[in-house]
Amino acid sequence: MAVGLRLRGQRKLHWHDEDAPRRKHLVDAVAELSALHLVVVRVDQHARPERRRRLCLAELLVQLQARGVEQLYLEGREAKQNTRDRDLIGKLRAQRRLDGQLRMDHQPGPTNPLLWIPDIVAGAVGADLTGEPSYLDRIRHLTTIIII
């Protein structure tokens, strides 16, 4: 699905690089998948982006484990950031919020088209939160949003 959606010259899909008609096309493609989407959002204008991401990732990990997920793939970032993600799992296990079943791996975005789907879903949720619901409306029935 996702590989065929990439335009000539694109290494990967990224919501912020697309115009409105392309975004609609991408969301329509995601709507055709029989997949459920879980999105965790932290609305806090005063927190740094990395702190918001870490809080969202912690909640996402707990929610995924509660749903029986055993393997999570995230788009890789800088090595130091990836290490912080892995350290977070250790902290959550030490706090007994996670058991040892959930595994997390990082992969480069261009090598795994399945990583583009969460970017599209997150873009649709972000658009909805800023007053443009049309994208999320197409996948709302497949999407659970948790605001922390």
pLDDT for the residue numbered 43: 87
Residue 3: pLDDT band (50, 70, 90) is: low
Q: What is the largest CA-CA distance in the chain?
A: 46
pLDDT digits (tens, 9 = 90+) for 28-87: 999 999 899 999 999 888 999 999 999 999 999 999 999 999 999 999 999 999 999 999
| pLDDT for residue 2 is more than 70 | no
Q: Does residue 1 surpass a pLDDT of 80?
A: no
Q: What is the pLDDT of residues 88-138, one digit of tens each?
A: 999 999 999 999 899 999 999 998 989 999 999 999 999 999 999 999 999
- Token pair 């969460």 is at which residue? 118
Q: What pLDDT was estimated at residue 6? A: 87
* Lookup result for tokens 């975004």: 23
> What is the distance between the terminal CA atoms of the chain, rounded to a whole angstrom?
31
Identify whether the C-beta of residue 137 lies closer than 8 Å to the C-beta of residue 30.
no
Is 100:93 a contact under the CB 8 Å cutoff?
Answer: yes
Which residue carries 């997390």 as its tokens? Answer: 104
- Tell me the average pLDDT of the chain: 94
Report the half-sphere exposure of 62 (CA within 13 A, side-chain side): 16
- Domain boundaries along the sequence of the chain: 11-147
pLDDT for the residue 4: 76
Q: Helix or strand or coil: residue 27?
A: helix
